[in-house]
Structure 1
Amino acid sequence: MIEPVNSTTPPTDPPRRAWRYWVAGAVAVLVALGTATAVALQPQPSPGPSRSELALRSAQDDAARLAAWARSAEGTRQTTAGVRDALASAASVLGRQASLLASRPGASASADPSRSASSGGASGSGASGSGASGSGASGSGSAGSGSTGSGSTGSAGSPGEVVARLTASVDARLAALPDVDGPTAALLASLAAGQSLQADGIAAAAGLSPQQPQQPSAATTATGPSSTPPPSACPGAPAAASPPATAATRQSAAATIPSPAAPAVSAASGVSFADALAAVDRAEAASEYTLETALARSAQGSSDAAARAAALDAHRRQLTAVAALASAACVTLPAQDAGFAVPQGFATDPTPALAAVAESAAESWAQLVGAAPADRRGAAAQGLFAAGKLVAGAAPSSAPAFPGLPAAN
């Protein structure tokens, strides 16, 4: 006898239960869409300031504070007439630097340059608060922190204090060079060169030992100084600069003195590092030739002869620095011109031509800073510092606020 088999299959759900799952899924989709819409409608936070903007804000605030500090020191009774003149020159240059930075698009409100140092105008950190990557004057690559409130020596308002604060500001600008874009690097290096000139002027007037900024050697690279790179450092053929004849380097007021192929802050306009090196090499060669010609016509033992001989040695050191930079960067420089035509009236008074070639060389160095890779900007800035001193020596009556950037002066 066969027993009947009992079915164990559960009964099916009534059809009315299916709609509950459908409704739950639809609600979940609507909730997700509503949440996504709410998030999309939220205002997006504006991006923070770039490293370049932080560096410019810090430079602007430091220049304003230093101008106030120099004016405060100028008013002290113990300073001599020569020191007061040097402090007044520094206050004027620093004020012009702060004004130019404040006039740039999007500039923040700077510290009031008229505030005295005793009221805190020269003692705080930069308005940007913290830098992009460390302290400004320590050489750690900061792009934003102020520098004029630390690392100084001497009594408040003394020439030594002003020199120390200027040097700290210079160090902060140099430390920011690897972190910013090319045009900003050229501007910061030029500003630092102008401040270094003022620090040297105050130190000389007050009989102080000049404080040297933290500058790398002219051939410093990411791996250290080297005038000739090892064979493995230059794989393949070295980069070659464009021939100077096609670089439009013969334009100037005298039509015979070379000038850079592009404005000094035109790193973004396509000037390569190799071409910028070639422009510096040619400008320094023109300075050397012009000084040699002027020195040959100077009275032996005269003050002009001594000054021109010193300038000639300095320009030759600049040429050595250019060659070291080119070698370290595996760049082949074009052959130098055999000579340069001097302008009319040179035999009577070579001073204008000498000033023009010095300014041309400074412009080419400023351009080089903007075109250089981040790890070579410090070395290029050192060349700009030396060129700024040569410009000031060729025209002592007008120390530039921005050496190498004539449009900024």
Structure 2
Amino acid sequence: MNAGFIHTLLDFAFFYPLAMSLIWMTGGLIYFLRWERTEPSRLKPPALPSYPMVSLIVPCHNEGLQVRETIAHLAEQTWPDFEIIAVNDGSKDDTGEQLDQLMKEYPQLRVLHLSSNQGKAMGLRAATLAAKGEYLVCVDGDAVLDRYATHWLMVHLLGSARVGAVTGNPRIRNRSTLLGKLQVGEFSSIIGLIKRAQRVYGRIFTVSGVIAAFRKVALHDVGYWNTDMVTEDIDVSWRLQMRHWEIRYEPNALCWILMPETLRGLWKQRLRWAQGGSEVLLRYWSKLLSWRQRRMWLVAIEYVVSLIWSLDMAVIVLLWLLGQVVEMPPSMRVPTLFAQWNGVVLGVVCMLQFLVSLLIDRRYEKRIGRNYFWMIWYPIAYWMITTTTSIVAFPKALLKRKGTRAVWVSPDRGVR
């Protein structure tokens, strides 16, 4: 093996994040200039030709601490005609009792009780079948939906019959720790910018599971949510787009969410996300080979290359560690993991990406810039987590038996 092997590993580790950062920044700026720059204020959504009933769906499992706040904000939506359907999916706490009490306070609320933990996908299915509206807005049981969000989501669903789903703009509520502050920047500069870029080149990897709107006929077309996928949001997004329904991103549809602020909670969450992506890729890769699915190729290729990059990083770290304990041949030696000139370049580009995204996101959060200087820690913390979760998740997805029900596991909701 010659020294070219090590150089190839190191070059790929450097150029992949550099290239993706440039693509995301370019796509995000194109999206901003094309759609966001000329939009009215979030507080003044455009008038629509009609205002059909919308069903607001909230699947709940052990949400006793948060569910009252969630329902209260849903009831304050500015959309004129809506109902709220909450699903108590086998909760072990007082979620069911609180929802029953809330029905007396909010006449537009209906509650479905499932006797055992059936999983979020089954809760969404049950609520959809009971929904009166042909349009659904789905939020998590610990989320706080902005009062204008439903209107902004419906702009897309009423504007084009081809739109099957619209993903909203999740914002982090809990910011008391370093992990919380880092996730504020992540949802802006990584997740928000990626969704903008993907919208520009035609396909979005996934709607946000915490805030998304759907056309009921589109869900019926693809068979609703699959109950055996770890991340039902990624799965339904791929199936909708493979059936040629369009998914759009609406940054004005704000939804405030709770995120993990412990390393254990963050690891479990990101491992689930990584496993969900791998499950979807493994299940649908053969269908993606069809020319009819060519618009999904960029999304699929981007995900596959990210997996390869994670493996590449793991090999580099392993070779470096071996070089610390045994004498490695020159062709296999990784000289250092510490930043050289290329690390400085990546750091500068990374901070530029954060700056671009935060400047765009100031439309939605005026004081978001205060998190900018915390983001210098992002590449170290999150690239390590992304690498390790991707490597661990892929064999888990490969070995998982099809048909195994994905049920609720209560997440870490951070320090408040």
Greater RCO structure (CA 8 Å; 6+ sep): 2
TM-score, with structure 2 as normaliser = 0.27
The answer to which structure has the higher strand fraction is 2
TM-score, with structure 1 as normaliser = 0.27
